[in-house]
Chain A
Amino acid sequence: MSPFVPQRLASMRPRQIAAITLHQGNRTLPAGELFDVTGSPGGRIVIQSDSELLDNIGMGMADGELMVEGQAGGYLGRGMSGGFLQVAGATGIFAGSAMSGGRILIEGNAGDLLGGAAAGERQGMRGGFLHVRGSAGDRAGDRQRRGIIVVEGNAGDYAASRMVAGTLIILGQAGHQCGLDMRRGSLILNSKPKSLPATFNVSGGHQLTFLTLLNQYLESHSAPWAFPGNSRIRRWVGDLACDGRGEILIQA
């Protein structure tokens, strides 16, 4: 689905769009055989589909708006650098992977490796704002380098695994071994996770001024706070197995 991004379709007519070839399994076929294409040239695309097989929606998107009225497959918004991408339903693996800017809003659940690094990549998400109203799978924020991820629901195991920097906020219940191999960055949790690696040390209770700024930023992106900025939080530092300059902030 990677051809369907506003910067490529902005000046195309429906008939030209219908001729774009897509891969389905080991076949290639024109988009017109899979979709009815209507509308006029512009910077806004709506994809109406309830298939979970549509991979690479919004891949490399640089501007404009893309709405998915239904579900999306894997690699949603991969490499996205700008614009706004919204999915009404759930998405597959690697949503927001290698994203460097722009904003993604997923109303449903997200699969594993939300904002994560694909095989061989040394960085996952590198910027922008990734907001999941539902829950996320395992290894959300894997190798995240910059940018903010908010998961309103629960998250699977190994959240913020191998995180390089950036911020991952989980409002629901986080799974086991949060922050495994985290180097830097912040994992912010509303409640205690199921478990932390043994290589995290507690650094006590704190009030951190920066949380107020973070809350303001979240508010301006219509996302909820984890907790008020002046809350007392418990701070864990780690992963001491690698660098150890990351932090996990849990509301005390």
Chain B
Amino acid sequence: MLIKLSGGTVYDPANGIDGRVMDLFIRDQHLVEPPADNEPIDQHYPLEGKVVMAGAIDLHTHIGGGKVNIARTLLPEQQPAYSRPRAGRMRSGSGGIAPSTHATGYRYAEMGYTTCFEPALLPVNARQAHMEMADTPLLDTGGYALLGNDEFLLQLIAEGAEQQTINDYVAWTLRASQCIGVKVVNPGGISAFKFNQRALDVDDVHPHYPISPRDILRTLSRALHQLGVPHPLHVHASNLGVPGNYLSTLATMDAAEGLPIHLTHIQFHSYGTEGDRKFSSCAAQIAEAVNRQANISIDVGQIMFGQTVTVSGDTMRQYANHGHAHPRKWLCMDIECEAGCGVVPFRYRDRNFVNALQWAIGLELFLLVDDPWRVFLTTDHPNGAPFTSYPHLIRLLMDRSFRNDMLARIHPDAGASSHLASLDREYSLNEIAIMTRAAPARLLGMTDYGHLAPGAVADLVVYHREGNPEQMFERPMLVFKRGEVVAREGAICASVNGSTHVVRPEYDQGIETRLAEWFARYHSMSLRNFGISDDEMADGIGSPVVIHPCASTSHP
């Protein structure tokens, strides 16, 4: 099957193409060089005046794992509130803020997203999380294994284990849980919470293990770097949501000691204590630190006004915020002594000072970080807002007058205490393509994704060029998944199953001896049953793995 896409305006920042009119060719599942003149074209799409980009990649969205299911269970009334009837080849789905797997896959694909990453995949829950993501149609998926509050790692660091041992454990975890990266949530804080600690700043010492969050950050970022894992340590920093937490965030950046580090939903970590209400924006300080340190990348975790549900492994902070639950029901739990889980429904209100300022802080961060290769478009779905609000967010970034109209509607004191009105920057289509395609693929080491050069996987999106970016990104004209048209004019027309993206750093299998003892003594399953094989991924779970290369291992 040979497909020709002719005359579209292509934005492919990975290959330096910024709005060039050119033809693209797809053979089977990949983009290819132009074929010989005499070869017949099977399908031809004339795309004059249309915009062509690679399929979008969301590197931080909670779409799998136990906590999403808990959110669905906690808020059953949200399911009938948004229902999606069976239509054509699409199965039914429901849920607006924590949609069912099918509704999630369809809506993402309708918006031109082709790959999504679950950022908090607990290794002990990996099997269920991969099954859930395999049930999310049309999307390639992947997960970041949660480490940094598991007793095994804390014990290793506390007893002063060699970095090599840590590296082996990290690599083994990636292999066993079939993940592409490692995330740490409130380093050590979730564990400390279980020792009745209610806060743990970067240099505070854990109440049981004589280590600080800084030790955990340093050890894990170094492990990933030495293992050659492309995606840097994905950090949900300490003190989420606490006024004045920008200092913890700066300390977290510092803890990486110059090694690559990704700070996620940084909007929730950029708060100061200025002003009458002791709550202010420190977006400028954070953006300045990001601009200055090239080893740091961030995603924003923008909030949008309306009902949503916050799901997080950060039991410590979710417990602290449970009083704000709306509707008034919430849940915090421990998961097998490896991490936590907190689900607190929340309604962000534009007439509320704090919520309004959170909204402004997120946008300030987008606009103040200069390099679009290091800032990513997320709402930390569903924590800041459901992913369905992305087109609206893109318009806020691309359209200054629209942004100022929205700013005029929020709590006036919040508007007044934000610099947002003075920020003139408008994102270009090329910059949007960077932050939603090229940059995530590069940061995750997915060499064949997020760009449109010959050899790349043919995940691509064709948009109508509309005056209003929200409409443009809400309803693409065509969405190709691995060379097949899956959505047309914002409606699904075919359903394909995705793959799971992983990395495989090498490690010394000797670590399994010690792990086997640990499992036998403390775990709810045996080491033998813990890991997920490639065959199980492909046949049992139904999502075959795509292995991305690691950099050559460098030992200190």
Contacts and interface: CB of A to CB of B under 8 A. Distances in A.
User: Do chains A and B directly touch (beta carbons under 8 Å) in the complex?
Assistant: yes
Interface of A: 26, 118-122
A121 B86 contact: no
A118 B80 CA distance: 11
A120 B86 contact: no
A193 B329 CA distance: 32
13 contacts: A26-B86, A118-B77, A119-B76, A119-B77, A120-B74, A120-B75, A120-B76, A120-B77, A120-B78, A121-B77, A122-B327, A122-B328, A122-B329
Interface in B23-75: 74-75
A124 B514 CA distance: 54
Interface residues of B, number: 9
Contacts of A26: 86
A123 to B, nearest CB: 11
Contacts of B327: 122
B94 to A, nearest CB: 12
A135 B8 CA distance: 69
Contacts of A121: 77
Contacts of B328: 122
Contacts of A122: 327-329
A25 to B, nearest CB: 11
Nearest to B327: A122
Q: Which 5 A-B pairs have the closest CB atoms?
A: A120-B77, A120-B76, A119-B76, A120-B75, A121-B77
Contacts of B76: 119-120
Given A120-B75, A120-B77, 4 more contacts: A119-B76, A120-B74, A120-B76, A122-B328
A26 B86 CA distance: 8
A233 B74 CA distance: 40
A135 to B, nearest CB: 28
A121 B329 CA distance: 11
A120 B74 CA distance: 7
A118 B78 CA distance: 12
> DSSP class of A's interface residues: helix, strand, loop or mixed?
loop
A121 B328 CA distance: 11
Among A26, A118, A120, A121, which residue has the most Cβ atoms of chain B within 10 A? A120
Nearest to B329: A122
A232 B549 CA distance: 82
A122 B74 CA distance: 11
Contacts of B329: 122
Contacts of A120: 74-78
Nearest to B81: A120
A238 B321 CA distance: 31
A119 B80 CA distance: 10
A193 to B, nearest CB: 30
Contacts of A118: 77
A120 B97 CA distance: 14
Nearest to B86: A26
A119 B78 CA distance: 10
Contacts of B86: 26
Contacts of B77: 118-121
A120 B327 CA distance: 10
A119 B77 CA distance: 6
Nearest to B75: A120
Interface in B168-193: none
Interface in B74-98: 74-78, 86
A236 to B, nearest CB: 28
B100 to A, nearest CB: 14
Contacts of B78: 120
A120 B95 CA distance: 13
Nearest to A121: B77
B330 to A, nearest CB: 12
Interface in B315-332: 327-329
Contacts of A119: 76-77
B211 to A, nearest CB: 41
Interface string B328-348: 110000000000000000000
Nearest to B92: A26
A105 to B, nearest CB: 28
B329 to A, nearest CB: 7
B101 to A, nearest CB: 19
A103 B410 CA distance: 43
Contacts of B74: 120
Nearest to B77: A120
Nearest to A23: B85
Interface string B425-453: 00000000000000000000000000000
Interface string B82-124: 0000100000000000000000000000000000000000000
A74 to B, nearest CB: 14
A119 B86 CA distance: 22
B95 to A, nearest CB: 11
B96 to A, nearest CB: 13
A119 to B, nearest CB: 4
A22 to B, nearest CB: 14
B86 to A, nearest CB: 6
A160 B373 CA distance: 59
A121 B75 CA distance: 9
Nearest to A119: B76
Among B75, B77, B78, which residue has the most Cβ atoms of chain A within 10 A? B77
A105 B328 CA distance: 33
A17 to B, nearest CB: 23
Nearest to B328: A122
A119 B79 CA distance: 10
A118 B81 CA distance: 13
A250 to B, nearest CB: 33
A120 B307 CA distance: 15
A39 B329 CA distance: 47
Nearest to B78: A120
A121 B321 CA distance: 22
A121 B77 CA distance: 7
A52 to B, nearest CB: 22
A94 to B, nearest CB: 13
Nearest to A26: B86
A190 B236 CA distance: 59
A118 B74 CA distance: 13
Nearest to B85: A26
Contacts of B75: 120
Interface in B232-251: none
B271 to A, nearest CB: 32
A120 B328 CA distance: 11
A26 B92 CA distance: 10
A122 B345 CA distance: 14
A119 B75 CA distance: 8
A27 to B, nearest CB: 11
A73 B326 CA distance: 32
A121 B78 CA distance: 10
A119 B95 CA distance: 14
